Each structure stands twice: as C-alpha cells, then as structure tokens.
Structure 1
Amino acid sequence: MSFFLELLAAIAIFLLGLGMSFFFSGTETAFYRVSTVRLMIAANAGDRISRRLLAFAHRPGRFVATTLVGNNVANYLVSIGTGLATVLVVRSEGLAEVVGTWMVTPLVFVCGELLPKNICYITPSWLLRRGSALFRVFYVLFLPITLPLAMISHLLERIAGAATGTADLVFGRNRLTQVFSQGRQAGLLSDAQSRFLTGLLTASGDAVERTMTPADRIFGLHGDATRDEVLEHARRLALTEVVLGSKSKPGEWTHYVRVAELAVSDRPLATLKRPLPRFEAGQAKLEVLLALRTAGDSVGGITRDGVMIGVANERGLVESVFRAGRPLAVASTAA
C-alpha cells in the first residue's frame, strides 16, 4: 500500500512541476505578446485583471524574475518526481534515475515549454487573464528571492554606470511599434503612415552621417558660376538643389541654391543663394531634419571637428525614415 502511495506522491510532484513549467513558460511568452494599449484601455474602464497585468508591464523586471524563479522551481520538482518514481519502480538508483530523466525529457519539453509558448504566442491573453491571480500569488511567494536579485541587479547597474532608462526605452519603442501595427490592421493608419511612424522610432538614434552624401560624392559648383551654368549642371545631373563653394578652396561648400526657384525667378543668382547650415556628424538625423524644417532649409553641411565631410538633404533624410533607418544610397539632390 505504501508503495502505491509513494508512487502517487512522486507522480503528483512530477505533474505539479510540469504544470508550473507550462504556466510560467506560457505567461513569459504571453507577457511580451500582449498589447499594452489594450491593457491600458481595459484598466481605465475598470477591469481589475488588466490593472494587475499593467502593473507588471510597468515593472517588467519583476515579472521576468518571477517567471525565471518559477521555471527553476518547476524543473526541480520535475526532476524530484522523476527520480522518486524511477527508484520506486526499478528499485535502483544512479543510472536508473538518469535513464528515467532522459525518457521524460521529450514530454517535459513538449508539454512544459513548446506547447504553452505556441499557445500563448497566438493568444497571449488566454493564459495571462486566467492565471493573473495565481501569478500574483507566486510573485508574493518568490519575493524573498526575486527582491534581492533585483537589488543586486540595480547595484551592478549603478556600479557599471548603466543608464536606468534603457530598458524602459526599449520596451517603449516595442510597444509603440505594436500600436502602429495594430492601427494599420484596424484601418486607422495607412501602410505609408505606419511605415513612416515605425521608421521614426527606428531612426531616432541614428547619426546623420549615415545618411549624408560624402564629400567626394558632392557634385557642386564654385560660387562664381552663372545662372545658366547652374541650371545646366542641375539638368544634367537631375538635381533639385545645387551646392556652391569657394573657387579658391575646393571642398569648402558655403551656399546652395534651389533649382526650382532659379528656374522660375528673374532675381539675380546672388539673391537666391542660401547659406549652408552646418551640423555635427554625430547629431541625430531626426534632429537635423527638424532643424532644416524649422529654418526652411533643404540642405545642410555635415562637419567633423570643423571640417566638411558631406552634405545631407531633407528629402534623403525623409526617405531614410521610410526605410526604417537603414543607410540610403547616394542621394540625388544637392549631392
């Protein structure tokens, strides 16, 4: 009688560990798949479950620490249950326990890892909403373990000088990208609008030098060029702006002229020349784009340590945003 009770206890321990593995593996995947925007809307409408989940979304480190500890506990219980059952059935230790663990590994992988992750990847709210109260219980139970880990992590960040807002920035970008994707699927945003907004997030940290036309690829003219020479140069190279420089100092670009203005205006070329604004190579491309738009300019010079290394134009910067921040090929305007 005691043999069957001990075997049932071993099986119960094994199933408990398998169930915990299913739960924590699924909730971890669902946490990264669930829409934070929907949680915020539901929480503002008074949904208590969404409020509970949103609290974890604002502190993802604690959620992740709880799932990691939970998965370790689950694996430990699976190992104990397998070992006890193997010893009871085979009446042998050592190699028998290893073989028993090896035999149940595929079952644990499929039922405790693969299956919950696939289910929660497709329907993240299914397990999160049903298991939110249970997860809260585990969160409180594991707090004596997860809290010191969080404190140590925070201490290491301070020692290493790591930026505390990095994780929030990454999560914020991912959530905004998710919002744009859902807005496009719902018909609130067009495909072009969605691509542009996603590109803004992707390109926000890119330096303008990634989009500029290098100095050796700038097809400009000297400042003494005539109106006809500028128009012919623009027509031949299909330019919308032409940069102008010093005849005595090649590569020193100081002004630019818009071809459209030159073609339709009777004003002298000297009055249509615009000073070429300058930006440091390390400035963000969105910062440069905003500065050009604010000043009403369409071309800017890019410098490093006071030396002109290239130019960037407004159209090229906008195109780089649509291309999700990837470097552009050689621009076809003032360059």
Structure 2
Amino acid sequence: MIWWAALLMCLGVASSALFSGSEIGLYRTPRLRLVLDTMAGDRIAGGLLWLVNHPTLFVATILVGNNLANYLVSLAIVLATDTFFTHGGVWVEVAAPLVFSPLLFVYGELFPKNLFFQAPSRLLRKVGPVLLSCAIAFLPITVFLWLLGKLIELLLGESPQRVQRSLARAELRAVFEQGQQVGVLQPAQQRLAEGLFTLAGVPVSRLATPIGRATKGRDDMGRGELIKLAQRQRAPLLLIEESAGERRLLGYVRLIDLALGGNDRELPLRSLISVPNHESAVAALMRLFDAGAPLGRVVDENGRVVGIVTQTALTESMFRGSR
C-alpha cells in the first residue's frame, strides 16, 4: 500500500508541475514565435498555437488537470495515513495535509512556474505533446466549458477575436520596441512596420477618394486645357472621362506627358488597374506597385467604379497609422 501511495504522490506532484508550469509558459511564449514555428512546419507549435487561439479550452484543460493532480495527492495522503496511522483519529487526518502541503506547493507550483517563467519556449516544446494529449483526453469535460463560453459570447454580442487581434498587435509592438532597443530597427523602420500591420486590416475602400470628388478631365479637352486644370488643382495626374454618353473613365494622363507636347487631340492616356473594394489597403498597395501604376480605380462587386486610390495616399496612411 505504501508503494501505491508513493507512486500516486509522485504522479500528482508531477501533474501539478506540468499544468501549473504550462500555464505560465504558454502565457510567456510570444504569439509571434508560435506563428513562425508553425509556418516552419512545427506540429507541436501548431498545436500550442491552436490552444492559444482557443483560450476557453486551454484554461479548462489547466483547471481539470490541476484538480486531477490535487485529487491524486489527496488520495496518496489518505493511503499513507491509513497505512502508518491505523488508529490516528481526526488529528492525523488534519495534520497529514499540513505536512505534505509544502511539498506540493514547492515542487508542484512554485518551482515549475519559476522554470517556465525563465525558459517558456524551450520547456513548452518538451511538454507540448503531453499537454496536447491531455487537452484531447479532457475534451469530453472541457467541451461543456467551451460551450458555456460560446453562450456568453452570444449573450454579450462580442467575439474574442477582437481581443486576440489586440493582443497580437501589442506583442508585435513589443517586438518592434525590443528591435529598436538593440539597434536592429531604426525609429523610421519601426514606424513603417507598425503602420504596415495597422493598415493590413483596413479595406482599401476606406482610404479611396470617392469618384465624385476626384479631379477629372474630358477626352475632348486639349493639352493646354488639361495642363491648366492640373495646375489649378495641383494634381500631377488627371483622370480622363468620356465627354458624352455614360461618362466612363478612360484612363489617366500625367502632367509631365502633357507638357512634353505632341498632337493636341491625341492624349497620352494610360490605363487604370482595378482594385476590389473589399481588398486590404496593403494588398492594394502591393497590386499598384506590381503593376507600376501610381493610381487605380476601386470597384465594387458589380464592377462599378466607386473611388480612386493612389500609391501616395496609401503610403502616407502607413506612416499615419503608426502614430
């Protein structure tokens, strides 16, 4: 019986150390590190990232694991007291947990939490398979807590995705600040990187100039008229539309091309590329860069032009978004 008690005690303390340390380790490990390891094909990191993105299941797994560990320790204490103190009475039952509590606190809580605090990524990789196996094994119990979290989400009308994005942005900002402190990033590079991540979630339609407010010329206007219009509007680029009919956009002209001269009625038109209005501002900027186009037309699902977006406006928004 004493060997069973010793085995249960060791198993309970080890389980408490696993779940208590993993809780600190998973909170301490940067989300960016898990994402990069997952992209590199690390399955353990992928599983840990899945737990991080499902905090209700993760917390429920830790709670169930800690309660199971405490139950094993309690059972070991009961077996040990029954073996050594057959007629100990109430005082033995009260004193035994007090004697073994420091053991559980030091080796099952304090020591593993300190270790995982110092080296979270390295230790999580070692215990990751065991932690993920426990998460799967406890799923019949933890799924009820997950459903409760979903019910609360429906009642409150908020999704935890917003919180996750905020946490990710805070972690990225911390990475950028650390990079600046060690000299890897210059202040301008840090602002650009922060603005890039801020702009990634913004649809291009929010940064586009409505088509009705864009400066436009007509295809029946001469070079001189278009140059005066561009100078008056301080616009290096002019949109050209039909002078009659549906007034469709035909393209754009550059002020420098108009000033270089040529046939007054043959305009140096350049084509406009189309950018879907639901596309992110960063994707739209990359589309313009790849096409070598200084501006493009933003179109809706029906192909109707709803606005104009320029490389300059998108680039300036990246720097403004980091402030």
Residue of structure 2 aligned with 1:267, choices 262, 265, 272: 262
| 1:280/1:71 CA distance change after superposition, 3 Å | same
Residue aligning to 1:315:
312
Q: One-letter code of the match for 2:315?
A: V
Residue aligning to 2:243:
247
> Aligned equivalents of 2:272 and 2:231: distance in 1?
21
1:275 aligns to what SS in structure 2?
A: coil
Residue aligning to 1:332:
none
Structure 1 unaligned blocks of 5 or more: 1-11, 41-53, 93-107, 154-165, 327-335
2:307 aligns to what SS in structure 1?
A: strand
* Alignment pair present for 1:24 and 2:22: yes
| 1:268/1:61 CA distance change after superposition, 3 Å | same
> Aligned equivalents of 2:32 and 2:244: distance in 1?
62
2:30 aligns to what SS in structure 1?
A: helix
Q: How does 1:29-178 map to 2 (within 5 A)?
A: 29-32=27-30, 35=33, 56-60=44-48, 68-75=60-67, 124-129=117-122, 133=126, 144-145=137-138
> Aligned equivalents of 1:226 and 1:275: distance in 2?
19
Residue 226 of structure 1 deviates from its aligned partner by 3.2
| 1:197/1:70 CA distance change after superposition, 3 Å | same
CA contact (8 A) 1:300 1:312 kept: yes
Superposition RMSD in Å: 5.4
Residue 38 of structure 1 deviates from its aligned partner by 10
Residue 20 of structure 1 deviates from its aligned partner by 6.0
Q: How does 1:180-329 map to 2 (within 5 A)?
A: 182-204=178-200, 206-249=202-245, 252-263=248-259, 265-268=260-263, 270-304=266-300, 305-324=302-321
Residue aligning to 2:81:
none
Residue 262 of structure 1 deviates from its aligned partner by 3.1
1:279 aligns to what SS in structure 2?
A: strand
Residue 220 of structure 1 deviates from its aligned partner by 1.6
> Aligned equivalents of 1:319 and 1:144: distance in 2?
51
1:196 aligns to what SS in structure 2?
A: helix
Residue 26 of structure 1 deviates from its aligned partner by 0.9
Structure 2 unaligned blocks of 5 or more: 1-9, 79-89, 95-104, 147-160
> Aligned equivalents of 1:273 and 1:309: distance in 2?
21
Q: One-letter code of the match for 2:311?
A: E
> How does the TM-score come out when normalised to structure 1?
0.55
| 1:322/1:142 CA distance change after superposition, 3 Å | same
Q: One-letter code of the match for 1:266?
A: G
> Aligned equivalents of 1:266 and 1:81: distance in 2?
91
| 1:250/1:190 CA distance change after superposition, 3 Å | farther
1:188 aligns to what SS in structure 2?
A: coil
Residue aligning to 2:154:
none
CA contact (8 A) 1:20 1:70 kept: no
Aligned length: 263
| 1:277/1:268 CA distance change after superposition, 3 Å | farther
Residue 274 of structure 1 deviates from its aligned partner by 1.7
CA contact (8 A) 1:208 1:284 kept: yes
| 1:289/1:138 CA distance change after superposition, 3 Å | closer
Deviation above 6 Å: which 4+ runs of structure 1? 12-18, 37-40, 79-82, 147-150, 173-179
Residue 283 of structure 1 deviates from its aligned partner by 3.9
